[in-house]
Structures are given as C-alpha cells and as structure tokens.
C-alpha cells in the first residue's frame, strides 16, 4: 500500500469513528437493547428477515432456521447451532477457539503491551483495571483478540478447562470494535466496557475477557447471568471461594453477547504456542484448534 493510500485510509477511519466521540454511546445502546427484545411478531420477523439477508447469515447451521421460531431479535441473535455444525477436538493439550469470528491480533505480550493494530498498542494493566496479581501473571505471556461480526454465532465457550477464581467488571466507553475503530481509537480495548474472568487451569492463570461495543453493550455468562447493561457503573470485583466452586470444562458454554463484540484471551508466559499458520484477519470457528500447550 502506498503512503498516499495509507494516509487516505487513515483519514477515512478517523472520519468514520469521529461521531462516536460525540454520541451518547450508552443511551443509544440501551435503546437498541430494548428494541431487540420486542416480541411483536411482524416487527421482529421483519428485522430478523432483513438482518439475515443483509449479513448473509447461514441459517442452515442454526437449530431453528425460520424467523417465526424466534421470540425476538435477541433470541435470534443468540441462536444455538446444530450439534453437528462445529467439530470439537476436546484435548487438554490444545487451546480451542471460544468463538466464531476473525483473528484481530495474535501473539506475545511485550512486558505490559498488547498489540491493538499496526503501530498501536495498549496496556495490560489498564486492560485488567490494574489487578496486580493478574498483571504480573500475564506479563510477557500470550494473547489473542477475536472479533465477532454481526453474522457470527455469538455464544462463547471455554478454550480450556478451568476453575473460576475471580471476575472483574470494568465500566467504560462503548466505541465500535470494527476495523476503523481498532486502527484509530487509542487503547480501545482498555477503555471500552469489559468483563474479565480469571480461571485457574492446568497451565496456570487464564483470562477470558468480553469487550462491549456500541449497540452491543449487553453481556451474559452462565455463572453470573446478565452483567450489562447495569446502573452500577463502577469497577466490581468478585472472588470465588472454595465453597462456591465454578468449574467449566473445555468446550462448555461460558456466556454470550446480546449482539456481538470481541473476546480477548490471555495466557501466562511460556505456557502455550499459537498455531503457526494462524494470523491476523483469519476466520475462525468455535472449537477450532488455535494453540497448543508447551
């Protein structure tokens, strides 16, 4: 790409994202939240039918294939797949993709820095709300950022088996997480609203992080229920004691986005190696092998 072309692309990216600095991100997201739960038959069927057409959603993979079978747009958006739509190779020596989507970034954490996009990085400490133990555990570790597009399956699964030890809800902005935003908004994933889940596993500490975005700020997990939207907009830490053991096995459902966004995985240093042929912009499917335990 020529210098002129690069400058032009960057200008267009800023132009696309600029309005999001001015718009009421959370208010707009709340409106979309309510609209997607409307159960009026004609209304929800119209939205679902046109969404499928616009985004070319493959409904043959879904358990319910007709818009009539969904109670609301959100019911459709969080649809389940046919049991045979994905192949799972459950193996404790492998790291499986927790989602359908695209690899936004994949690689190694450079001390405290993760790559957001070419020429842009962000702080591990900010991503984890300065949780000292977690930051120390993941320094120089491995990470991948996985983007879920509107057409993707939006349920999230476990990449490895683990025992939940802590969650951190971190309120923040709700910028889009599309390509233009990733290339222009500094520290995007460390400033958007997010929910960090820390698991104790056979390979040490593992983090699975759900990142919210514009219109897609609603997140749920199987163990905490709906996390956002919430009126309590402050950092909330919950530790899981021995009497409240939550064990999630590899491939089990972890949660879902009520609309789509991004999942970030963090692993400790020298614990895993990513698949050699996996690179930025590659499509992935839930259950696909993305790494191996060293």
User: How many whole angstroms separate alpha carbon 294 and alpha carbon 292?
Assistant: 6
- DSSP states along 189-212: HHHB-EEEEEEEETTEEEEEEEE-
Both tokens of 161, joined, read 């088996």
Catalytic, out of 13, 100, 152, 173: 100
Rg, C-alpha atoms of the chain = 19
Query: Does residue 157 have an active-site annotation?
Result: yes
What is the separation of C-alpha 274 from the centre of its chain, rounded to a whole number of angstroms? 18
User: How many whole angstroms separate alpha carbon 79 and alpha carbon 73?
Assistant: 10
E strands present in the chain: 94-96, 101-108, 113-117, 120-123, 142-147, 155-157, 162-170, 194-201, 204-211, 219-221, 225-228, 236-239, 247-248, 253-257, 262-267, 272-274, 283-284, 289-293
Residues 6+ positions from 234 with CB-CB distance below 8 Å: 171
User: How many whole angstroms separate alpha carbon 189 and alpha carbon 69?
Assistant: 35
Catalytic, out of 157, 173, 218, 256: 157
Catalytic, out of 97, 181, 218, 261: 261
Phi, psi of 123 (to 5 degrees): -90, 130
Query: Does residue 261 have an active-site annotation?
Result: yes
Give catalytic residue positions: 100, 157, 261
């Amino acid at each position: 790409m020529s210098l002129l072309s690069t400058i032009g692309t960057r200008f267009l990216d800023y132009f696309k994202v600029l309005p999001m600095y001015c718009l009421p991100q959370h208010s707009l997201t709340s409106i979309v939240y309510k609209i997607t739960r409307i159960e009026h038959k004609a209304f929800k069927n119209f939205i679902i039918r046109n969404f499928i057409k616009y985004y070319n959603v493959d409904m043959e993979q879904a358990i319910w294939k007709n818009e009539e079978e969904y109670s609301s747009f959100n019911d459709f958006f969080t649809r389940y797949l046919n049991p045979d739509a994905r192949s799972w190779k459950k193996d404790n020596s492998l790291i499986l993709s927790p989602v359908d989507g695209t690899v936004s970034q994949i690689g190694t954490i450079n001390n405290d820095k993760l790559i957001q996009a070419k020429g842009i990085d962000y702080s591990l400490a900010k991503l984890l709300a300065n949780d000292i133990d977690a930051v120390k555990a993941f320094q120089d570790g491995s990470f991948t950022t996985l983007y879920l597009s509107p057409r993707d399956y939006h349920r999230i699964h476990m990449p490895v088996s683990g025992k939940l030890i802590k969650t951190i809800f971190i309120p923040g902005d709700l910028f889009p997480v599309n390509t233009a935003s990733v290339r222009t908004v500094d520290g995007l994933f460390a400033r958007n609203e997010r929910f960090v889940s820390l698991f104790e596993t056979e390979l040490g500490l593992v983090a699975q992080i759900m990142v919210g975005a514009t219109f897609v700020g609603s997140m749920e997990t199987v163990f905490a229920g709906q996390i956002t939207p919430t009126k309590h907009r402050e950092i909330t830490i919950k530790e899981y004691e021995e009497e409240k053991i939550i064990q999630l096995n590899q491939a089990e459902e972890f949660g879902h986005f009520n609309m789509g966004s991004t999942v970030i995985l963090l692993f400790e240093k020298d614990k895993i190696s990513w698949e050699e042929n996996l690179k930025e912009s590659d499509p992935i499917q839930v259950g696909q092998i993305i790494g191996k335990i060293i």
